[in-house]
Amino acid sequence: MRVMLVCLSLLCFVTVEAAAKITSTTINLSVKFREFTCNIASSRGSNLSFGNVNITTLTLTEGPEIESDLTLTCRLDTSMPELIGNNAISALQSANLRFSSPASTAGTGGDFLDAGHNVAILPFFNNARMQFNADYNLKNLSGSGYKIKFKLVKKSSNGTISSGTVSVVLNAELTYT
């Protein structure tokens, strides 16, 4: 019986090494930053036309006008409804609109678009003469609507208006956060 006890006590002191097991997994993290996609567009489309104009009726201050609403729309993503006007402005932290044109010229009372042929196009934004390359803070303006208007006038009392076709480009850049 003594022999058996010795054998049992030897078994108790034997250490067993277990092999370490390693497992790993890959976790894909996805983060969606809530960022709006906004647009500003003319209610009359991107091509505004005065049509056929009788050049003898143009003066330095009077001529035909084109008026259009500018509509601001913002969308968070395709699953969210589109925000328009005041709702779009309220959702943004800031919104600035800047107008520019390769045909812009500084003039008395504001900038104008030089259309050649002794013709100028006077641009207006929200009933005031438009200033090119200046930021209009849309959050400080009425969110109910933004209006642009263009008046075709005689550029200079010197010289006559020559007939022909003119076209000018006006760029509107919206910067928002």
Measure the N-to-C terminal CA separation of the chain; round to a whole number of Å.
89
Condensed to tens digits (0 to 9), the pLDDT of residues 17-38 reads 556 666 666 676 656 556 788 8
Which residues share a beta bridge with 71?
Answer: 41
Token pair 């006590």 is found at 9
Query: CATH number of the domain at 37-176, out of 2.60.40.1090, 3.90.1150.10, 3.40.1390.10, 3.40.50.150?
Result: 2.60.40.1090
Helix/strand/coil for 134: coil
Q: Amino acid identity, residue 74?
A: C
CA 107 to CA 160: how far, in whole Å?
Answer: 19
Per-residue pLDDT, 81:
83
- Asked if 119 and 154 touch (Cβ cutoff 8 Å), the reply is yes
For the full predicted model, state whether its pTM sits above 0.85. Answer: no
Condensed to tens digits (0 to 9), the pLDDT of residues 48-104 reads 888 888 888 888 889 999 898 888 888 887 777 888 888 888 888 888 888 888 888
User: Residue ranges per domain, the chain?
Assistant: 37-176
Helix/strand/coil for 9: helix
Nearest to 177 by CA among 94, 102, 104: 94
- Reported as a pLDDT band with limits 50, 70 and 90, residue 106 is confident
Structure tokens at 122: 């006077």
- Reported as a pLDDT band with limits 50, 70 and 90, residue 6 is very low
Nearest to 167 by CA among 105, 107, 132, 117: 117
